[in-house]
Structure 1
Amino acid sequence: MKKKLIRIPGVLLGIFLFLSSSIYAQTVQTDSVYIAANYDKKEYMIPMRDGIKLFTAVYTPKAKDVPYPFLMQRTPYSCAPYGEANYSTRIGPSMDLVRDGYIFVRQDVRGRYMSEGAFTWTAPNKDSPKEWDESADTYDTIDWLIKNVKNNNGKVGTFGGSYPGFYVTVGMMDAHPALKAAMPSAPMGDLWRGDDGVHNGAFMMPHNINFISSFGIKRPMPLQKYPAGKLKYDTPDGYQFWLDHGPLTNLNPKHFKGEIIHWEEYLQHPVYDEFWKSRNVEPHLKNIKPAVMSVGGWFDAQDIKGPFIVYNGIKENSPKTSNRLIIGPWYHGSWFTAPGDRSANIPWGSNTGEYYRKELEFKFFGFYLKGRGNMDLPAVMAFNTGANQWKSLDKWPPDVTNHQRFYLMANGKLSTEDVSQTGEPFDEYISDPKKPVPYTSEITTRFGNDWMVEDQRFVATRPDVIVYQSEILQEDMTVSGPIKVNLTVSTSGTDADFVVKVIDVYPNDAKDPDPNPQKIKMGGYQMLLRGDPIRAKFRNSLEKPEPMVPGEPTAINYQLTDVFHTFKKGHRIMVQIQSTWFPMIDLNPGKFMDLFNDVKAEDFKKTTQRIYHSNQQKSSVTFDVYKN
């Protein structure tokens, strides 16, 4: 299927891009001038317990009227610009905090950019305090800062999003006594259980490969700039590029040549073995001393599960820790800078990002690092999409009144009633790996964010996408927590992917956006709320895959990531099921085999999939219903 390029009229697009770039450039310039005028910059090579030295940039307020706490970010993405005369345009999580006055610390982690040592991918924590790990590097850095940077008040906070969020998380394990507050944002919690790497056994292809093609390049010595990545696109159309590229086994001969460290790790560990388990942060979240505020977005395409992994891990293993969770209607990292008034075509009715920075983040660090005000923030602040309002909760997931199951029925119906059915006991479709279902209508090689709420009408009419839709809702229904999927399926092969998407269908008379340069039609809009694949061979275990028996009805049970959403009165609930989601996840050849190491182009075959909805073999999705 050839996708359509969404076009914005040239004049409107030019005006929009000009205004956006001008406002952004002006903001960055203003921030840069303020930082240079109000902060002094020093650079240090800070020694660790094993003798390795880490490059660290320290921005200290010029005003010396009071001692200041530290706010520190440890990152694998570079502390550039280098040189004490060269100032970064962004030194803290927000300019509100920069203007409030902190000692800001930015550090290249071990083995990256200007720091010494060897880099280890999401390095696991060691049992011995004498051994190196990222927790030890955080401890040693804090200890050095407290003793060597003048005019500090002896308190440290840490922050960072995505991979830096991982360093915040591991840094609060066995923490230095001076570490009082930690804010992991969209942290990488477990790469094989829903974050960047793998979702229910399915490989998140373009995101991973774009990432590791440059990130995994070997570094012979400290450097200020890494060489360009090994993957080169010869077209802006990522769908066509990956279709022409072929299976994952082509990456080394075509691009990587065995030189990309992290790709070699995937090849050596194609299942959830001890290598990946040791990099799961959750079981290590014991005896956490600093106050923690985990932050994430409902529409984060990269690390949507990380905040829940960290929050729940602390709740389970460190129940006495001050432990908070903030989840807004954001894409990956947008809470740091964006207004947060919308996600693509879906407005939220307020500037949620600005509210977070001024009312939540600012208060959290101000209380724990400066002793200012009261810590009256709830345990959980979650934005209810659909209702478009913040809700204070005492835990996540919240208590619910009941569980509402929707059964997949004949003739494309989605019903809360488990009624007797006649006729064909299943829906059937052919999945063709030569014509996979696209995950977005955008022509792109990047793994963006807008697809997380994209109108699914662009695939709903395909014969390899099965659609089930409810009647019009007669009252609002608010759902919270994970969505449970219980399918009975079969395939003509020995393996298959099943992608389940839960969709909020707008009324036919829904109003279009205003302004509306893209000419979006909201009447009947099929807003993707949640979607996730499962690779059938991993249906019972991520460690020990099992083949499907061709043609045999088989139960597949899994969960879609948490939501907090109100399906409004007059809307409908839709479920779409398909077996490809390309190129977001790699293609399944329909055969039980190692897709990282063994698959070849000739292995890919059409397969016939069935979704059962008979009186004996049922399929359903279940929501936890929340009442205020």
Structure 2
Amino acid sequence: MRYLRYAMLVIASCVMTPAVSAAPDKDTRAEYIRSHYAKYEYNIPMRDGTKLFTSVYIPYDQSKSWPMLMQRTPYRVAPYGSSDFKTRLGPSEKFEQEGYIFVFQDVRGKQMSEGEFVNMRPQDAYKRGKDAVDDATDAYDTIEWLVKNVPNNNGRVGQWGISYPGYYTSVSGINSHKALKAISPQAPIADWFFDDFHRNGAFSTPMAFLFFDTFDAPRTEPYPYRLEGRKATTPDGYEFFRDLGPLANVNKNYFHGERPFWNELTEHPNYDDYWQARNVLQHLDKVKPAVLVVGGWYDTEDLYGPLATYQTMSHENKRDNVQIVMGPWYHGQWIGDKGSNMGEAQFGFETSVWFRDNVLLPFFNQHLKEESEDKYEQTATMFETGANRWRFFGQWPPADTSEKTLYLTNDDSLSENKPDKDGGASDYVSDPRNPVPHSAAISRGWDRPYMAEDQRFTARRPDVLKFETEPMTSDMTVAGEVNVNLWVSTDKTAADFVVKIIDVFPGVDENTNEVDKETGDRHELVRWGIIRGRFRDSFSEPKPFEPGKPTQVSFELYDLLHDFKRGHRLQIQIQSSIFPFLDMNPQTYVDNIFHATEEDFVRAQHTIYHDAAHPSSVTFNVLPSQ
């Protein structure tokens, strides 16, 4: 993957209170905010006259000027009303203790802001002329108004946000306002064909179905309330989405054509001009603010976004102003909780608290507060799973690695030696009516813990192949992307291939040699990835498989930093479904899978070759032993 001056103003009634001081515990955080901040609400005009609703919280302490920390969101800046306060303003209580002016804005066309909302709006205003608007110009115009109109600001602005607000943070760096000094895009959407709703062309039905049910509902005028999604008919997402059948049934039975973006994405199954125009990465080559990209190794919703955003910014920008943090987190966990574990994976300490206190706060203080002595200068701050420690690198991926290739063998093992005989192959039957579940848990269709789940529940299925190394004689730390190179065939015309990297724990404690009841023989998922076979050569020009013909299929798994400890094994699992998190391939080639019918879904036999003529393998980089 290398990879405007006037507005309606409502002022909260207030009395003077003491200057910002030590933040209280979380139980009294809301009271603390009320007693230390005044809330204002503005309708800020953009260059085309559209007004965007903005809430601003200003410290009562007027003895000094304060920097502004902004979020722009398509969700809600609630609560609305000058007398109703948020219960948290910053990423942590310490931001409120430090004293910032906190700014929250409903983006164009959402909630209380005027205008038309466009999902992942193409960022092309600079091509269309000075009166044209996009998300980047809206950020610029907002900052221009804020620095001129908000009292006691020091002329410095920072912006942050997670997921969609992370995307709005990224685009604020495009032709950015000179007052925007620091941005932190966190799990940012970068290119929706590859993150969130697609994975190398495979479609995340439950994420898109549940999200767009409410988010994509049309509106006729601004509103302050939250839309409610449809009620679940079963807690079993596997059952629900299997019974749903072809994706065409979503509109037929549920949306009835009333979700505009759903309609658009189903008409663009390939990486065509529609998606390419919505790829924000192409605009991130001249970002002037300091950047701290944040993501989570276990973020099933968007792992692509932060990695691709960092790679693009760090390679394309001339100044050394881009940093990255990747922690052992699910989507937004670095802000949402203490980060001590992710499902069954335990980390030994509060990784999220460490990040907020030691990285995020110093980063913003450094760039937004002239008097601050805080600095955060590490380029890449990466959590090493398996070893449960932070590692610091001058670049990511690290420079000082060696390449290692493991080949699939006839005896279901992984070897550093390339096969020297012909005829080796393994096959399995993939059945659309009995797809491989993405998790052993009963859930809505995806859940957070599965990203580190014990994989023995799939290893014992006949439609899952597994290949495994001997126990490690010393620790092996894998850093960066994993390149998968498979030789495959199918007796039909379409197929997906899922590859999982798994850390197999020893059955006994390595120190006592006694049975480890907690983790004995645990098969912990480290990373997985998929390729929709039609896109094996091009995401823009798909093509079918020729039945029975050995075909090379190569793709990348997202980056990782994982230590396979002495005594552990590295296992590869290969399958053709990971359901219902990703939709089931019908296994009959159709031009548009969103238009597939029941008859297109057929059982298929897939073959993975591992011989001299067709050597299937995985390749990754290994750090030197410490």
* TM-score interval for Structure 1 and Structure 2 normalised by the shorter chain: over 0.9
Distance 2:572 2:421 in 1: 19
- Given the alignment of the two structures, is residue 377 of structure 1 paired with residue 383 of structure 2, yes or no? no
Q: Which residue of 2 aligns with 1:134?
A: 135
C-alpha separation between the residues in 1 aligned to 2:431 and 2:483? 27
Map 1:204-603 to 2 at 5 A. Answer: 204-229=204-229, 231-371=230-370, 372-421=372-421, 425-510=424-509, 521-603=518-600
Which residue is equivalent to 1:181? 182
Q: Secondary structure at the match of 1:211?
A: helix
Match of 1:105 in 2: 103
- Is the contact made by 2:403 and 2:621 (CA closer than 8 Å) also made in structure 1? yes
Contact 2:483–2:555 (Cα < 8 Å) also in 1: yes
1:226: how far off?
A: 4.1
Q: Which amino acid aligns with 2:65?
A: P
Q: Contact between 2:365 and 2:374, CA under 8 Å: does it hold in 1?
A: no
Please list the CA deviations of residues 423-460 of structure 1 after superposition, one character each: whole Å capped at 9, or x if unmatched.
x5210100011111000011111532100000000111
Residue 314 of structure 1 deviates from its aligned partner by 1.3
CA deviations 1:243-290 (Å, max 9, x no partner) are 111010100010001000110111221111111111111110122111
Give the structure 2 partner of residue 23 of structure 1. Answer: none
Deviation at 1:307, TM superposition (A): 1.1
How far apart in 1 are the matches of 2:380 and 2:401? 19
Taking the aligned partners of 1:469 and 1:36, their CA distance within structure 2 comes to: 57
* Equivalent in the alignment of 1:77: 75
The one-character-per-residue Cα deviations of 1:274-330 (angstroms, maximum 9, x if unpaired) are 111111111101221110000001111111111111111112221215110111111
Give the Cα separation in 1 of the matches to 2:65 and 2:445: 44
Which residue, out of 601, 605, 609, partners 1:604? 601
Structure 1 residue 615 displacement after superposition: 1.5
For residues 340 and 510 of structure 2, what CA distance do their matches in structure 1 show? 17
Q: Is the 2:366–2:376 contact (alpha carbons within 8 Å) kept by the matching residues of 1? A: no
- After superposition, the Cα gap between the structure-2 partners of 1:363 and 1:97, relative to the gap in structure 1 and judged at 3 Å, is same
What amino acid maps onto 1:607 in structure 2?
Answer: A
Q: Contact (CA 8 Å) 1:192, 1:198: kept in 2 or not?
A: yes
Question: For structure 1, which segment, 214-223 or 275-284, has the greater mean C-alpha deviation from structure 2 after superposition?
Answer: 275-284
Measured after TM superposition, the shift of residue 484 of structure 1 is 0.5
Name the CA distance, whole Å, in 2 between partners of 1:269 and 1:28: 46
Q: Give 3-state SS (helix, strand or coil) of 2:595's partner.
A: coil
- Relative to 1, partners in 2 of residues 1:155 and 1:318: Cα closer, same or farther, differing over 3 Å? same
Secondary structure at the residue paired with 1:412?
A: coil
> Shift of the alpha carbon at 1:401?
3.2
Contact persistence 1:613–1:619 (CA under 8 A): yes
- Give the Cα separation in 2 of the matches to 1:280 and 1:468: 36
Distance in 2 between the 1:27 and 1:464 partners?
51
Q: Distance in 2 between matches of 1:97 and 1:401?
A: 38
User: Which residue does 2:44 correspond to in 1?
Assistant: 46
CA distance in 1, matches of 2:510, 2:583: 37
Q: Is the 8 A contact 1:488 1:617 kept in 2?
A: yes
Instruction: Give 1:510 shift.
Output: 4.3
Q: Quick check: 2:247–2:595 contact (8 Å CA) kept in 1?
A: no
Which amino acid in the other structure matches residue 472 of structure 1?
A: P
CA distance in 1, matches of 2:496, 2:73: 35
Q: Which amino acid aligns with 1:285?
A: L
Is the counterpart of residue 116 in structure 1 residue 114 in structure 2?
A: yes
Kept in 1, the 8 Å contact 2:41–2:56? The answer is yes
The Cα shift of 1:129 comes to 4.0
Q: For the residues of structure 2 that align with 1:436 and 1:521, how far apart are their CA atoms?
A: 29
- Amino acid aligned to 2:60: K
Query: Is 1:614 matched with 2:611?
Result: yes
Residues 1:155 and 2:156 are matched in the alignment: yes
CA RMSD of aligned residues (A): 1.6
**Does structure 1 retain, via aligned residues, the 8 Å contact 2:407–2:419?**
no
Greater displacement, 314-323 / 113-122? 314-323
Amino acid at match of 2:520: G
Give the TM-score normalised by structure 1.
0.92
8 Å contact kept, 1:76–1:164: yes
Partners of 1:139 and 1:346 lie apart in 2 by 42
User: Residue type matched to 2:519 in 1?
Assistant: M
Report SS of the residue matched to 1:411.
coil
* Deviations 1:442-501 (CA, angstroms, capped at 9, x unpaired): 111153210000000011110000011110010111111100000000011111010000
Taking the aligned partners of 1:338 and 1:317, their CA distance within structure 2 comes to 34
> CA distance change for structure 1 residues 551 and 27 in 2, over 3 Å: closer, same or farther?
farther
Task: Quote how far apart the aligned CAs of 1:27 are.
Answer: 6.0
Counterpart AA for 2:234: T
Cα distance in structure 1, aligned partners of 2:324 and 2:205: 29
TM-score (norm 2): 0.93
DSSP-derived class of the 1:187 partner? coil
Letter in 2 for 1:273: D
In the aligned structure 2, how far is the partner of 1:341 from the partner of 1:329?
9
Secondary structure, aligned partner of 1:522:
coil
After superposition, give the CA deviation of every residue in 1:145-188 in whole Å (9 maximum; x if it has no partner): 11111011000000100000000000111111000000000000
Runs of at least 4 residues off by over 3 Å = 26-29, 594-597
Q: Following the alignment from structure 1 to structure 2, what is the Cα–Cα distance between the partners of residues 614 and 74?
A: 54
Tell me if structure 1 keeps the 8 A contact 2:409–2:424.
no
Per-residue CA distance 1:485-534 (angstroms, 9 max, x = gap): 0000001111101000010000111499xxxxxx9841110000011111
Which residue type is aligned with residue 159 of structure 1? W
Counterpart AA for 2:324: L
Do structure 1's residue 88 and structure 2's residue 89 form an aligned pair?
no
- Corresponding residue SS for 1:244: helix
**Which is further off, 379-388 or 496-505?**
379-388
2:54 to 53, 56, 59: 56
One-letter amino acid of the structure 2 residue matched with residue 186 of structure 1: A
Query: CA separation of 1:511/1:58 partners in 2, compared to 1, >3 Å: closer, same or farther?
Result: farther
Q: CA deviation at 1:124?
A: 1.5
Distance 1:411 1:215 in 2: 49
Mark the CA change 1:532 to 1:346 in structure 2 (over 3 Å): closer, same or farther: same
Conservation of the 8 A alpha-carbon contact between 1:94 and 1:337: no
2:362–2:376: 8 Å Cα contact kept in structure 1?
Answer: no
CA distance in 2 between partners of 1:596 and 1:46 (Å): 43
SS in 2 for 1:381: strand
Ranges in structure 1 where 5+ consecutive residues have no aligned partner: 1-25, 513-518
Deviations along 1:530-583, one digit per CA (max 9) or x if unpaired, are 111111000001100011000110000000000011111100000000011100
Q: CA offset at residue 130 of structure 1?
A: 2.8
Instruction: Compute the displacement of 1:419 (Å).
Output: 4.2
In the alignment, residue 173 of structure 1 is paired with which amino acid? I
Counterparts in 2 of 1:301 and 1:597: CA distance versus 1, 3 Å: closer
